[in-house]
Amino acid sequence: MTVFRKLLLPILIVLFCFSFLFIFVENNQKLTFEFSSSIRLEKYFPSLPKTDENNPKAESAAEDLSKSNDLKNQINVERPVLSKLTGACALDREVQSDVGKTIEPKYKLDPTRFLAVAGSRGPNNQIVSIRDSIYLAVALNRTLIIPPWFKHDRGDPTSNGSTTAIVPFHQRMDMSKIKSLISVIEPEDAQQACGEDGFDIIYRLQTICQKENYPRVQAIEEYYNFTSSSSLNLTYYCQNWKKQQLAPFETFPPPDELKSYKAGNFLQVASLADARKKLSSDHKCPVASYPYKCTPIMRQWHKPEADDGELSKAIFEHTQRPEHLEIFVDSFVRKYSPDKKFLSIHWRYDEKDWKNEQCKAIQYKLICDNFDLLSDSKAIADFLGKHLDKIGGEEVFDFIYIATPPSEMELIHGVQREFENQGRLKIVTQMQLIDALAENYANCGEKYEDLRFEILSLAEMEISITASTYYLSYGSSWSFNVAIERSVMGRGETISNTEIFSDLKEGKKL
Ligand SMILES: *[C@@H]1O[C@H](CO)[C@@H](O)[C@H](O)[C@H]1NC(C)=O
Ligand SMILES: *[C@@H]1O[C@H](CO)[C@@H](O)[C@H](O)[C@H]1NC(C)=O
Ligand SMILES: *[C@@H]1O[C@H](CO)[C@@H](O)[C@H](O)[C@H]1NC(C)=O
Ligand SMILES: *[C@@H]1O[C@H](CO)[C@@H](O)[C@H](O)[C@H]1NC(C)=O
């Protein structure tokens, strides 16, 4: 009995949890990734209060405010004179602050060996992919080739439903920050670096023939102007050979080695040394196909004593939104609160995507059992109002920003109106943000039109990262990325948005 209790029981519990996770990932491949439902938040955010601790400490928000402007001091990148931007479209490559400058990277990497990356699925997963790739580039000592991003096939109407519509890297991330961290080459130099044949192997970090992902390898080859892209004819392989069960495509590690790592759908590396053990090869231009949470950075960034703790933290600090967007968001927020004292709430419990997929799992019982409530503007407004009374929110915050996908805009607009009628705290949403963005990027014409959904999502992200307090939405990788950045940057408190239903929540665990 004691042996059973001490040894077998914990093992059985662990096995049970893992098999559940595995089955879940297997069955829900299409959506799990963009939602990251398998994440245990407390594991990644030591500062996050336990979910059953029913006590949002609103006062701490004010203290945390003082920390929130430290980023620029932490990252010592020379800033351009802002007047340089006046008149020019801030989205143009020429006006980005890294152009025409030599930036010394913290990690100098071998200039004769490269690493390209094809990002996984939606925009938030692609951010995870690029962070993983930076870790791998440092581990393998390879210069990173700046990748293109891809539009969201479902969330961005300008993609026309395509998973290969390209967005240049600098439109989502600040180039000078990444350049100050590691050695990179620009997309325009990829052809010269790799030769016309382009990629010589696939570093297989995730199953290679997923239909949203594999067409991207060819799309990247075309983007880099690799003229003879037949050497890695992944599209042809996934459409034809795979169905006929012909020999696996040329990937690394080779299939039998991969098997010995028990990789499953994902290949994971536990450390820098482990990455070198699993992914060292003599190839010149491998493409990492589709890294997704395959490195330990999310576990390591708050452990400076760990070998790769410092690198992990630096990766988050150097993968931030473009500077012009930071500047825009700063002035947008100050319109409503000169001291930037505000609460941001992410609301993402939509019936179609979220409920259908996430309520198959047991971990969101509280949300799934009360879904009607979550779809009712009046109920949300009442609960939010009561919650603010309880924490003294009207004194602590100047306004509330509610970030939401377009499908939930009507619902949130209802909450906004309800608050207005009750004379409560001001709620700001996309409706105000879209107008301000259009005005800010008015001189960008077509370029802004094409990128407006990207920019809207990035701006909402920046707002939520800046907020003195942030209420995240469970099971959303957008929320997850915001929460982890807030944590890394030492911003204010992050808690679950279900906290506003604390009356319902009494005695239950999420
Ligand atoms: C990468 O290799 C170069 C030699 O080519 C060496 O000088 C450099 O220190 C290495 N960088 C890292 C981060 O290992
Ligand atoms: C989507 O369709 C429109 C209209 O046909 C076209 O102008 C645009 O280039 C297309 N976008 C993509 C990413 O294919
Ligand atoms: C590919 O070639 C086209 C046409 O010459 C050029 O406009 C584009 O900038 C090139 N792309 C890259 C990434 O080098
Ligand atoms: C891929 O291979 C097939 C069969 O060999 C060939 O027909 C096709 O043109 C190739 N595609 C590319 C982009 O090279």
* C-alpha span between 122 and 160 (Å, rounded): 14
For ligand 4, whether the C-beta of 231 sits within 6 Å is: no
| pLDDT category of residue 86 using cuts at 50, 70 and 90 | low
For ligand 1, whether the C-beta of 105 sits within 6 Å is: no
Q: Which of 184, 162, 163 is nearest to 173 (CA)?
A: 184
Residue 3 has pLDDT above 70, yes or no: no
* C-alpha span between 240 and 349 (Å, rounded): 38
* C-alpha span between 348 and 483 (Å, rounded): 15
* C-alpha span between 122 and 113 (Å, rounded): 28
- CA distances 424 to 394, 400, 416, 502, Å, are 8, 10, 10, 20
Q: What would the pLDDT profile of 246-273 be if each residue is shown by its tens digit? A: 666 789 999 889 999 988 899 999 999 9
For ligand 4, whether the C-beta of 229 sits within 6 Å is: yes
* 8-state DSSP, 111: T
Whether the bond into 56 is cis, omega within 30 of 0: no
pLDDT for 231: 64
Question: In which residue ranges of the chain is CATH 3.40.50.11350 found?
Answer: 28-68+323-505
Place of tokens 């240049």: 168
Distance between Cα 224 and ligand 3 center (Å): 7
Distance between Cα 141 and ligand 1 center (Å): 6
For ligand 1, whether the C-beta of 109 sits within 6 Å is: yes
* C-alpha span between 21 and 40 (Å, rounded): 12
CB 125 within 8 A of CB 114: no
Q: What would the pLDDT profile of 106-145 be if each residue is shown by its tens digit? A: 999 999 999 999 999 999 999 999 999 999 999 999 999 9
Residue 241 has pLDDT above 80, yes or no: no
For ligand 4, whether the C-beta of 29 sits within 6 Å is: no
Which DSSP string corresponds to 417-429?
HHHHHTT-SEEE-
Q: What would the pLDDT profile of 402-430 be if each residue is shown by its tens digit? A: 999 888 899 999 999 999 999 999 999 99
- Helix or strand run (H / E) with residue 289: strand 286-289
* C-alpha span between 197 and 445 (Å, rounded): 36
- Of the two residues 474 and 182, the one the predictor is more confident about is 182
| pLDDT category of residue 182 using cuts at 50, 70 and 90 | very high
The CATH number of the domain covering residues in 97-317: 3.40.50
pLDDT for 244: 67
Q: What would the pLDDT profile of 284-320 be if each residue is shown by its tens digit? A: 999 999 999 999 999 999 998 887 999 999 999 999 9
* C-alpha span between 163 and 125 (Å, rounded): 13
Give the amino acid at 160: N
Distance between Cα 225 and ligand 3 center (Å): 6
Query: Pocket of ligand 3, candidates 188, 191, 222: which has the most ligand atoms within 8 Å of its Cβ, to mutate?
Result: 188
- Of the two residues 237 and 29, the one the predictor is more confident about is 237
Extract the tokens encoding 424: 């409560």
Closest ligand 1 atom to Cα of 138: 13
For ligand 1, whether the C-beta of 138 sits within 6 Å is: yes
| pLDDT category of residue 15 using cuts at 50, 70 and 90 | very low
pLDDT for 196: 81
| pLDDT category of residue 183 using cuts at 50, 70 and 90 | very high
pLDDT for 352: 74
| Closest ligand (CA of 144) | 1
- CA distances 407 to 348, 352, 354, 375, 479, Å, are 9, 9, 11, 11, 16
pLDDT for 361: 74
Distance between Cα 154 and ligand 2 center (Å): 14
pLDDT for 166: 97
Query: Pocket of ligand 4, candidates 214, 216, 230: which has the most ligand atoms within 8 Å of its Cβ, to mutate?
Result: 230
CB 486 within 8 A of CB 70: no
pLDDT for 76: 36
Fold of 28-68+323-505: Rossmann fold (3.40.50)
Per the prediction, the chain carries an average pLDDT of 82
pLDDT for 229: 57
Distance between Cα 183 and ligand 1 center (Å): 11
| pLDDT category of residue 53 using cuts at 50, 70 and 90 | very low
pLDDT for 232: 76
pLDDT for 314: 97
pLDDT for 30: 29
pLDDT for 60: 31
- Of the two residues 78 and 398, the one the predictor is more confident about is 398
Give the amino acid at 360: K
Q: What would the pLDDT profile of 313-353 be if each residue is shown by its tens digit? A: 999 999 999 999 999 999 999 999 999 999 999 998 877 77
